[in-house]
């Protein structure tokens, strides 16, 4: 009996690089809009993710796309896919 397991597509997020001071690691701030549960007004929520940047290609202020991956360290479970837009 052969079973083939189909892997789900990995989660991706687009955010801004807020720190690149570590070796091969960047911190990416991902902003989302959330509606207030009672009043319905939208406000911003920011979440920060540490991502693996093997070639150190992302700089401060760049817009990047990150993808979920296996745990690489205690806080790093994301990796850099591409630099969407360079900082001006």
Residue-range domain boundaries for the chain: 12-85
In this prediction the pTM is 0.87
**Residue among 76, 86, 75 nearest 54 (CA):** 76
Angle at Cα 31 formed by Cα 29 and Cα 33, nearest 5°? Answer: 165
20: tokens are: 């690149």
pLDDT at 87 over 90: yes
Q: Is the pLDDT of residue 23 over 90?
A: yes
pLDDT band at 50 (very low <50, low <70, confident <90, very high): very high
pLDDT at 1 over 80: no
User: Which CATH code for domain 12-85?
Assistant: 2.40.50.140
Among 31, 64, 35, smallest CA distance to 48 is for: 31
* φ, ψ for residue 53, nearest 5 deg: -125, 90
Residue 7 banded pLDDT, cuts 50, 70, 90? confident
- For residues 31 and 63, what is the distance between their CA atoms, to the nearest angstrom? 12
């Amino acid at each position: 009996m052969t079973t083939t397991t189909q892997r789900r597509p990995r989660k991706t997020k687009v955010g801004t690089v807020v720190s690149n001071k570590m070796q091969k690691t960047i911190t990416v701030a991902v902003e989302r809009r959330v509606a207030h549960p009672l009043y319905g007004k939208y406000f911003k929520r920011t979440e920060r993710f540490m991502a693996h940047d093997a070639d150190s290609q992302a700089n401060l202020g760049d817009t990047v796309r990150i993808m979920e991956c296996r745990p690489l360290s205690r806080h790093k479970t994301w990796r850099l896919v591409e630099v969407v837009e360079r900082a001006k």
